[in-house]
């Protein structure tokens, strides 16, 4: 008996290293396969279905990972938009090992509604209560399978119906039918209204989105055959602009510098009665915002604008051949470009214009879009009348008498300085979308037209920053920490009184919005400047609060 016991112990001692080695090998295989499953899961999230399928195929017969590999293959098939048929259901706990919620969201947002539907059916036993049913109903709506969507809606839990996603689906379901052709959303997916079967737009936004009634937007809406469309409009920015302008005649335009998308374009009701869309059509003298163009023209001509102005002094008036030009402010020694731009000295920029001459200045204005042919009811600035002497050339240099501009064009000029010297094309449509407005396919924007080089841009932006500092005409307009660059301009005509054009962009380090604020129909220059300051302060205060509460 003792001999047998010793023999058994010897065998066990002999087998121990083998057992340890086998356990180590099995453990290594287990952890390797689990790591491969994790890699395949990342492929799923990244949308690399080929790589994910390859990993799952290799692991299909594995003791450790076979069940998860089969589930992964089923998910791949769903994401390819194919229904999955299996003799035996996949274990619920196995499905829960996958990022099902994220995959549902991704497939729906990417407009892959067949994939979302298949995935929702597969994940229904494992997804949080009612979530898969909500995605299933939503996907069926997007696929125009409305009867099946109504049946799927009955399986959606009460809490899911009350979520923002559920509310969106409910509101769309209520408006579906023969009378609705398409749904219209703003840039961020907020509902604006529907296009009925006759092609007419029926708004349901709580704010007055005047841009919706411009000809370019009307045409874009009418061109939607079915589904949804996202316009460039940002409802929040539009509301902020309307509130800022409240009580004054005028127009505010805001657009995205890099894409040219028109985020807001609002005008007072009286201006809208006189023009179908003042933001695109109302021509007024640009005034001192033209000093930016005169600066770039002088730089292109080889002048050092800063050095030239440093030698100048403003006495409040200067005589040119043909007459005297006056300055609203006797600035004395100007010191350089930044101070001249900050105090908006007429004489400094008139002198630059006279030095470079009429031909170069007109050429520069046209580089910035003046005399460009109107497109799609969008007017650009014009050069009006002949420039016959130095005095008239001085006016051209400071944006008076000889030129006119629309608010949209003025905002595009601001966007050029914010967009590294490239002027974007104005756009009113952001993306095509589904019926629910939750799966945008964003239209690619062009790079914009190169107008000025990087050196000119940096010089002018520095001068625009000076406008916002102490002593500048744009000082004390914004809350602390709200960084921006701008140029102010004030002019008048005999019919409509005084008006302003204040243009610029913000934030300074990473421009998101370029703007033009135009206030009109004031009796004196001091009144119109006071009115514009009130509008600007209200606008910037609201924008500061908005940008702190949401991402752009």
| 150-175 confidence digits (pLDDT tens) | 999 998 988 999 999 999 999 998 88
What is the Cα–Cα distance from 242 to 254, expressed in whole angstroms? 12
Cα–Cα distances (Å) from 293 to 46, 279, 397, 410, 451, in that order, read: 47, 21, 8, 11, 10
Question: Lowest mean pLDDT: which of 275-284, 451-460, 479-488?
Answer: 275-284
In a domain, 482, yes or no: yes
108 and 210 together in one domain: no
200 and 87 together in one domain: no
* CATH code of 328's domain: 3.40.710.10
In a domain, 534, yes or no: yes
306 and 380 together in one domain: yes
Region for 44 from its dihedrals, namely left if φ exceeds 0, alpha if ψ lies in -120 to 50, beta otherwise: alpha
Q: Are 72 and 44 in contact (CB under 8 A)?
A: yes
What would the pLDDT profile of 391-411 be if each residue is shown by its tens digit?
999 999 999 998 999 999 999
Residues composing the chain:
552
59 and 109 together in one domain: yes
Mean pLDDT of 427-433: 93
Question: Lowest mean pLDDT: which of 130-134, 278-282, 333-337, 423-427?
Answer: 130-134
531 and 421 together in one domain: yes
How are beta strands 513-522 and 497-506 bridged, if at all? antiparallel
257 and 310 together in one domain: no
**pLDDT > 90? residue 510:** yes
Indicate the residue among 404, 419, 450 that finishes a domain: 404
User: How many domains is the chain built from?
Assistant: 3
Residues of the domain holding 360: 285-404
What is the Cα–Cα distance from 460 to 504, expressed in whole angstroms? 11
- Higher pLDDT among residues 514 and 131, named by residue: 514
Instruction: Report the chain's mean pLDDT, rounded to a whole number.
Output: 88
Indicate the residue among 357, 386, 404 that finishes a domain: 404
Q: Are 411 and 253 in contact (CB under 8 A)?
A: yes
What would the pLDDT profile of 362-400 be if each residue is shown by its tens digit?
999 999 999 999 887 789 999 987 788 999 999 999 999
What would the pLDDT profile of 519-529 be if each residue is shown by its tens digit?
999 999 999 99
Partner residues linked to 314 by β-bridges: 332
In a domain, 163, yes or no: no
pLDDT confidence of residue 24: 47
In a domain, 260, yes or no: yes
Question: Lowest mean pLDDT: which of 212-216, 227-231, 276-280, 284-288?
Answer: 212-216
Q: What percent of the chain has pLDDT over 90?
A: 61
In a domain, 14, yes or no: no
Mean pLDDT of 246-269: 94
In a domain, 33, yes or no: yes
What is the Cα–Cα distance from 134 to 75, expressed in whole angstroms? 18
In a domain, 165, yes or no: no
Cα–Cα distances (Å) from 224 to 145, 227, 429, in that order, read: 20, 7, 11
97 and 209 together in one domain: no
What is the Cα–Cα distance from 48 to 362, expressed in whole angstroms? 54
In a domain, 504, yes or no: yes
201 and 329 together in one domain: no
**pLDDT > 90? residue 7:** no
514 and 541 together in one domain: yes
**pLDDT > 90? residue 340:** yes
pLDDT confidence of residue 21: 43
Confidence of residue 230 (pLDDT cuts 50, 70, 90): very high
* CATH code of 484's domain: 3.30.450.330
Q: Is 15 exposed, middle or buried (0-12, 13-18, 19+ CB in 10 A)?
A: exposed
pLDDT confidence of residue 20: 43
75 and 219 together in one domain: no
Mean pLDDT of 232-239: 94
325 and 266 together in one domain: no
What is the Cα–Cα distance from 417 to 11, expressed in whole angstroms? 85
373 and 265 together in one domain: no
Mean pLDDT of 124-128: 72
How are beta strands 227-231 and 201-203 bridged, if at all? unpaired
What is the Cα–Cα distance from 538 to 3, expressed in whole angstroms? 100
Confidence of residue 265 (pLDDT cuts 50, 70, 90): very high
């Amino acid at each position: 008996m003792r001999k047998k016991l010793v023999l058994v112990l010897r065998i066990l001692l002999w087998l121990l290293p083998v057992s340890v080695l086998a356990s180590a090998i099995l453990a290594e295989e287990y952890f390797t396969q689990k790591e491969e499953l994790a890699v395949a899961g990342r492929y799923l999230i990244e949308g690399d279905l080929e790589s994910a399928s390859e990993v799952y195929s290799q692991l299909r017969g594995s003791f450790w990972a076979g069940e998860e590999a089969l589930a992964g293959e089923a998910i791949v098939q769903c994401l390819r938009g194919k229904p999955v048929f299996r003799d035996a259901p996949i274990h619920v706990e196995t499905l829960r090992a996958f990022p099902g919620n994220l995959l549902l969201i991704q497939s729906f947002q990417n407009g892959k509604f067949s994939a979302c539907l298949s995935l929702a059916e597969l994940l229904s036993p494992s997804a949080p209560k009612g979530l898969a049913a909500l995605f299933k109903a939503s996907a069926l709506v997007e696929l125009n399978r409305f009867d099946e969507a109504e049946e799927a809606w009955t399986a959606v839990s009460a809490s899911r119906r009350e979520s923002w996603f559920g509310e969106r689906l409910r509101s769309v379901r209520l408006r579906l039918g023969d009378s609705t052709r398409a749904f219209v959303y703003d840039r961020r997916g907020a509902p604006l209204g529907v296009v009925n079967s006759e092609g007419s737009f029926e708004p349901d936004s709580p704010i007055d989105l005047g841009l919706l009634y411009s000809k370019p937007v009307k045409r874009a809406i009418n061109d939607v055959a079915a589904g949804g469309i996202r316009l460039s409009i940002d409802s929040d920015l539009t509301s902020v602009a309307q509130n800022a302008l409240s009580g004054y005649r005028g127009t505010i335009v805001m657009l995205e510098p890099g894409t040219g998308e028109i985020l807001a374009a609002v005008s007072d009701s009286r201006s809208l009665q006189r023009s179908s869309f003042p933001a695109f059509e109302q021509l007024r003298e640009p005034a001192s915002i033209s000093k930016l163009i005169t600066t770039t023209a002088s730089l292109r001509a080889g002048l050092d604008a800063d050095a030239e102005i440093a030698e100048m002094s403003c006495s409040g008036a200067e005589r040119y051949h043909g007459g005297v030009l006056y300055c609203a402010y006797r600035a004395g020694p100007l010191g350089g470009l930044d101070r001249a731009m900050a105090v908006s000295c007429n004489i400094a920029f008139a002198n630059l214009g006279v030095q470079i001459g009429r031909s170069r200045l007109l050429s520069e204005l046209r580089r910035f879009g003046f005399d460009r042919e109107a497109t799609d009811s969008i007017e650009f600035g014009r050069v009006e009348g002949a420039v016959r002497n130095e005095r008239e050339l001085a006016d051209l240099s400071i944006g008076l008498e000889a030129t006119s501009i629309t608010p949209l064009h003025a905002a595009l000029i601001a966007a050029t300085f914010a967009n590294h010297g490239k002027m974007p094309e104005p756009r009113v449509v952001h993306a095509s979308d589904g019926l629910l407005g939750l799966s945008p396919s964003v239209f690619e924007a062009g790079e914009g037209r190169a107008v000025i080089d990087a050196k000119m841009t940096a010089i002018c932006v520095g001068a625009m920053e000076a406008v916002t500092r102490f002593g500048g005409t744009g000082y004390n307009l914004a809350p602390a920490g709200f960084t921006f660059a701008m140029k102010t301009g004030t002019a008048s005509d005999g019919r409509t009184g005084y008006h302003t054009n204040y243009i610029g962009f913000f934030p300074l380090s990473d421009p998101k919005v370029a703007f033009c604020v135009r206030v009109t129909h004031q009796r004196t220059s001091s009144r119109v400047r006071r009115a514009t300051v009130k509008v600007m302060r209200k606008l910037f205060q609201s924008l500061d609060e908005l940008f702190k509460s949401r991402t752009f």
